[in-house]
Structure 1
Amino acid sequence: MPDQREEGAAPPSPPGPESDPSSAPRAGAPRPAARLMRSFATVGGWTMASRILGLVRDVMIAAALGAGPAAEAFVAAFTLPNLFRRFFAEGAFNTAFIPMFARRHETEGPDAARDFAEQAMAALTTVLLVFTALAQVAMPFLVLAIASGFAGDERFDLTVEYGRITFPYILFISLAALLSGVLNSVGRFAAAAAAPTLLNVILIGAMIVAQAGVFAGLAGPDDPPGYVEGLCASWGAAIAGVAQLWLVWRAASRAGMPIRLRLPRLTPEVKRLAIIAFPAALAGGVMQINLVVGRQVASWFDGAVAWLYYADRLYQLPLGVIGVAIGVVLLPELSRRLSAGDEPGVREAMGRSTEFALALTLPATAALVAIPWPLASVLFGRGAFEAEDVAATALAVAIYGAGLPAFVLQKIAQPMFFAREDTRTPFNYALVGLVVNAAAAVGLAPVIGFTSAAVATTLAAWVNVFLLWRGARARFGEEARPDARLRRRTPRILLASVLMGGASWAAAQAMAPWLAAPGLRYLALAALVLGAMALYAALVVALKGVVVGDLKAAMRRGGRR
């Protein structure tokens, strides 16, 4: 349900007695937990729409490109801007920017916060323009850095060509992420959450145009199958970055935060932002090195880059909906609570966020581990995507699925440090994860092949989340400890998920002929997934892992705004 302070609403008022987060709620006003649930629902709903469209996009790309040279080249090329956006967008920059912006908005008012945002945008734009220009020149070296196995074959030249087209996406999406941080910090979540749908809509359109043969003449006699489709997808990604930036800039202006581009200046605020962002950039760099290690290992196995990409897209569906929703909402919420000295509010936000995450993540994990083959087969098994590709993708889906809870719990644990402007501690923990990931990916590759990259990613995620939670409990005490409600409900949610996973596996075996039958397999998969969801809902309510009355009460309180 969208927040009623959406685009077009009046600009937020400066903080006062009524808006003080530490004050008691007014009659009829939503309590913090209700506001969190509504914000999660807003971001999660739009993210779900984006992920479903993304799944449609990936199904179309898989059918058109399969797992051949053009597919691997596009996946590697699109990895480059998405890899570096973790430095300049959702990762390092916004990790530092959001708490500083939220604190200014809370204590000094909208004008001071907007001035800071404009300073930050000027600095970020300057850095990105220089970086994008250098990347165009150095593209062959960047390709070797992420996929040295491509050297000497047609995939290398294709990746360089596609990479030069897609790379400017980083400029537009990073600026869009800054504006999204502004919107989220003032409680406007819908527009920022809706922006990623534009990428998927535009890429779907690009695939339709390519399949219609509009640009078929661009393919030369030596180009591999799928060359034009990859070219259209690359241009679609670049255009989508412009569209996303325009959407959130317009939304910020209508929300009373018109951010204007100005000449960059090294002000004390910008210096402070850079000092805080630097350790986060290093932490983000460590995480991206993990990704590069996985890509490097996969690049030495034909088809593996594409297999891991499609598997990644499947587990990213629940991770995006749950993890992104929590990550987007929790950091500004904790920053506001800490600024107001509201320690009980911090613990309540942490407890309800973790409960919400586990209630949705654990059943998703059970499904990904129990029924990966039906998911990969029905969704991707068509056109150029053959049976061998389906089997390899399904195996990777199950391995990634086992790490899904860790990926989501990181989104909850990290904001405890980031909200206090501590980006150094997560960096130190990420270094440990880097060592674990590299050792597992490289060391296991001769033994288990391309799946070593997925195993290493999952293992490193669990190590990192363990270190984050242990460090948070040691530093922040009761704020980081599970409350009684969370301790009581977690085992019940886990039991309901395990029972649902077992039932889903048994049902998939019984439905195997239908899941493989042309024309029937889509309905069979829909029945399997919907049946699993219904069973989990019944089990988790019966076991009191989720109490229906709590959900109704939260929605009623939220609806009184």
Structure 2
Amino acid sequence: MSKDGSTKKVLLSSAVMAVATFSSRILGLVREQAIAAVFGASGVTDAFTIAYRVPNMLRDLFAEGAFSSAFVPTFTGVKLRNEKLAKGLLWSMAALLFLITASLSALIIIFAPEIIKSITNEVFNSDPARLEMTVQLVRIMAPFLVLISLAALFMGALNTLKVFFVPSFAPALFNIVMIACVFMLPDRLKLWGHYPVLSLGIGVILGGFVQMIIQVPLLIKKGFGPQGPFNLISSDSKVILHRIGIGTIGIAATQINIIITTVLATSTVVGAVSWLSFAFRLFQFPVGILSVSIAGSNLVHFSDAWKQGNKDVAKNYLSTSYNLSFLTIVPAMALLFAVSKESVHLVFERGAFDLKDTLMTNDALMFYLVGLPSYGLYKIFAPIFFTLDKPHIPVRISVFAILCNIVFCVLLTPVYGFWILALGTSLSMIINSSIQGLLLRKYLELEWSFFFNLKILRIISSGLITYFATQYISQTFFNYSDGFMTKLTVFCGVGLVGVGCYVVSLTILGEGSLIKKILRRK
């Protein structure tokens, strides 16, 4: 396949996923707005954030981490050999995944108090009511691990079958359910003698179920509905389980990092956990829309080409994804840097979320943004090693980067405060993606020009121009004392000018053909 053909496939599938993911991320922001307005950046919100991290710690393994990266290449290879065996593998893994995650969920429910005390400190636990509501939230949300893991499995299978939109849109339904619960349940729960914040836990469970079940009809339509041969421990499932086992080491290191940063955050000031969480939500907005979509598309197409022996085609897919990541993430980074405070103010500052919360969240967001391009590259690079049958490589790199982050945060957080945790995350991601890139250059026999070329330099230069221009325009025209609609209109206008500045800069610097190619692909 030609370079242009590879570009077309990656662009189209990435665009489809990005449109669906955009809807989800917009609704995710609305969900965070609702939580901020109803509960604020308070001890109550900290309770939910900490409780939600418990199933999320294992979600990274079974839903978004090693399992997804291990399943897609293996499923692709089996499907190319024998479609009937691929159908059996899918539902055998679904059954196995259900048994494992259900067992873990049961353990979380039983040992919820001990788990919460192990990831927080005495300051957090000194409030009996807050500790009790956190434990209750953990127990309510524990089965979310089962639902979201099956949802991720079904998404991986559908993506391999070249179905991208609905699986990427499914998280939007999760957010809709969460928003409904935030507004509809708190008063009722309070009337019934329960903590209003439990509405968030109920929303997580109901939303997770909807996100999972919506994908099943598509699998049935594609002929991949529940069917055998069922074999929980087949040669192919052993490969997946072996890779998950390797990935568990990296996930364990990640969770240790989360526990340590959570303890460090709770030891600084009340609200720090929530400020970091709200900032990370804004940071993940471009990552979720752009990087995850590009990475998901690249994994499917790269694995398909590589498993068929078309290595040059696979490299073309990777090259397209690499360049596309920079092309989209650099302007997103420039715009967010330029209007970070304005973004936090418009999205969150209402109700119980005040000016202090805006300033603190903005501090965290600025330091998260330092690692935005590296985060995008990490999403693309890490799964490639699983396709190359080298799953231990990204795990070792992640462990090293996490150790660097832990040392950095433990030493500096007591001195400088909670924002160090955001900077440490960025620095560890820079280390991670850089080492991965160096090793991919070796294993795929890539030239240095693959990573460092005139196109990338032009993109970065255009990003810098966009940042300075957008910052100047925002400082000139954005007034915090104006009405909400006036501020929103100015903010959107500033964003459009920034995007226009980026496109014009790229065109002047000689990359106009790249923009035209993307527009032709719609």
Q: Do the two structures share a fold, i.e. TM-score over 0.5?
A: yes
Deviation at 1:256, TM superposition (A): 1.6
Deviates more, 1:395-404 or 1:257-266: 257-266
What pairs with 1:482-501 in structure 2 (closer than 5 Å)? Answer: 482-483=449-450, 487-501=453-467
Matched, 1:308 2:276: yes
Aligned residue number for residue 22 of structure 2: 48
Q: Aligned partner of 1:272: which letter?
A: V
CA distance in 1, matches of 2:498, 2:120: 38
Aligned residue number for residue 382 of structure 2: 414
Aligned mate of 1:299, from 246, 266, 277: 266
Aligned residue number for residue 199 of structure 1: 174
Aligned mate of 1:150, from 120, 124, 129: 124
Q: Aligned partner of 1:311: which letter?
A: A
Aligned mate of 1:254, from 212, 221, 229: 221
Q: Is the 8 A contact 1:515 1:525 kept in 2?
A: no
Aligned residue number for residue 432 of structure 2: 464
What pairs with 1:160-559 in structure 2 (closer than 5 Å)? Answer: 160-210=135-185, 213-219=187-193, 227-228=195-196, 230-260=197-227, 265-300=232-267, 301-478=269-446, 482-483=449-450, 487-514=453-480, 517-547=483-513, 548-554=515-521
Q: Is the 8 A contact 2:93 2:232 kept in 1?
A: no
Aligned mate of 2:93, from 112, 116, 120: 120
CA distance in 2, matches of 1:45, 1:196: 12
CA distance in 2, matches of 1:299, 1:514: 30
Q: Aligned partner of 1:543: which letter?
A: L
1:372-420 CA-to-partner distances (Å, cap 9, x unmatched) read 1111111111110111111000011111111110110101211321112
1:256-287 CA-to-partner distances (Å, cap 9, x unmatched) read 21135997733333222211211122222323
CA distance in 2, matches of 1:467, 1:516: 47
CA distance in 2, matches of 1:249, 1:380: 35
Q: 1:546 to 1:106 in 2, by over 3 A?
A: farther
Deviation at 1:206, TM superposition (A): 1.0
Deviates more, 1:277-286 or 1:541-550: 541-550
CA distance in 1, matches of 2:192, 2:477: 44
CA distance in 2, matches of 1:358, 1:191: 26
1:295-321 CA-to-partner distances (Å, cap 9, x unmatched) read 221111210000001001101100101
User: What's the secondary structure of 2:388's corresponding residue?
Assistant: coil
CA distance in 2, matches of 1:384, 1:538: 41
User: What's the secondary structure of 1:549's corresponding residue?
Assistant: helix
Deviation at 1:60, TM superposition (A): 1.0
Q: Is the 8 A contact 2:330 2:373 kept in 1?
A: yes
Q: Aligned partner of 1:51: which letter?
A: R
Deviates more, 1:76-85 or 1:283-292: 283-292
CA distance in 2, matches of 1:516, 1:536: 28
CA distance in 2, matches of 1:521, 1:512: 7
Deviation at 1:488, TM superposition (A): 2.3
Deviation at 1:530, TM superposition (A): 2.3
CA distance in 1, matches of 2:519, 2:342: 34
Q: Aligned partner of 2:301: which letter?
A: E
Mark the runs of 5 or more structure 2 residues left unpaired by the alignment: none
Deviation at 1:518, TM superposition (A): 4.7
How big is the alpha-carbon RMSD for the aligned residues of Structure 1 and Structure 2?
Answer: 2.1
User: What's the secondary structure of 2:350's corresponding residue?
Assistant: coil
CA distance in 1, matches of 2:449, 2:50: 40
1:207-257 CA-to-partner distances (Å, cap 9, x unmatched) read 22146x34440356xxxxxx41x2111101101111111111121111221
Q: Aligned partner of 1:196: which letter?
A: P
Deviation at 1:117, TM superposition (A): 1.2
CA distance in 2, matches of 1:502, 1:358: 18
Tell me the TM-score normalized by structure 2.
0.94
Q: Is the 8 A contact 2:302 2:315 kept in 1?
A: no
Q: Is the 8 A contact 2:88 2:231 kept in 1?
A: no
Q: 1:183 to 1:444 in 2, by over 3 A?
A: same
Deviation at 1:66, TM superposition (A): 0.6
CA distance in 1, matches of 2:441, 2:134: 45
Deviation at 1:89, TM superposition (A): 1.3
Q: Is the 8 A contact 2:91 2:230 kept in 1?
A: no
Q: Aligned partner of 2:206: which letter?
A: I
Mark the runs of 5 or more structure 1 residues left unpaired by the alignment: 1-21, 221-226, 556-561
1:75-112 CA-to-partner distances (Å, cap 9, x unmatched) read 1112222221111112111211111100111222x211
CA distance in 2, matches of 1:262, 1:57: 41
Tell me the TM-score normalized by structure 1.
0.88
Q: Is the 8 A contact 2:87 2:228 kept in 1?
A: no
CA distance in 1, matches of 2:486, 2:499: 20
Deviation at 1:553, TM superposition (A): 5.0
Aligned residue number for residue 16 of structure 1: none
Q: Is the 8 A contact 2:49 2:273 kept in 1?
A: yes
1:36-81 CA-to-partner distances (Å, cap 9, x unmatched) read 1100001111011100011111111101111111111111112222
User: What's the secondary structure of 2:64's corresponding residue?
Assistant: coil
The number of equivalent residue pairs is: 518
CA distance in 2, matches of 1:482, 1:168: 47
CA distance in 1, matches of 2:204, 2:241: 29
CA distance in 2, matches of 1:530, 1:219: 48
Q: Is the 8 A contact 1:515 1:524 kept in 2?
A: no
Q: 1:451 to 1:518 in 2, by over 3 A?
A: same
CA distance in 1, matches of 2:242, 2:218: 29
Q: Is the 8 A contact 2:278 2:361 kept in 1?
A: yes
Q: Aligned partner of 1:412: which letter?
A: I
Q: Aligned partner of 2:237: which letter?
A: V
Q: Is the 8 A contact 2:287 2:375 kept in 1?
A: yes
1:14-36 CA-to-partner distances (Å, cap 9, x unmatched) read xxxxxxxx6x89xxxx9222111
CA distance in 1, matches of 2:264, 2:411: 10
Aligned residue number for residue 77 of structure 2: 103
CA distance in 1, matches of 2:445, 2:119: 41
Which is richer in helix?
2
Q: Aligned partner of 1:199: which letter?
A: F
Q: 1:546 to 1:449 in 2, by over 3 A?
A: farther
Q: 1:262 to 1:288 in 2, by over 3 A?
A: farther
CA distance in 2, matches of 1:123, 1:34: 37
CA distance in 2, matches of 1:263, 1:144: 41
User: What's the secondary structure of 1:382's corresponding residue?
Assistant: coil
Q: Is the 8 A contact 2:108 2:138 kept in 1?
A: no
Q: Percent identity?
A: 26
User: What's the secondary structure of 2:459's corresponding residue?
Assistant: helix
Q: Aligned partner of 2:142: which letter?
A: F
Q: Is the 8 A contact 1:166 1:234 kept in 2?
A: yes
What pairs with 1:63-142 in structure 2 (closer than 5 Å)? Answer: 63-108=37-82, 110-142=83-115
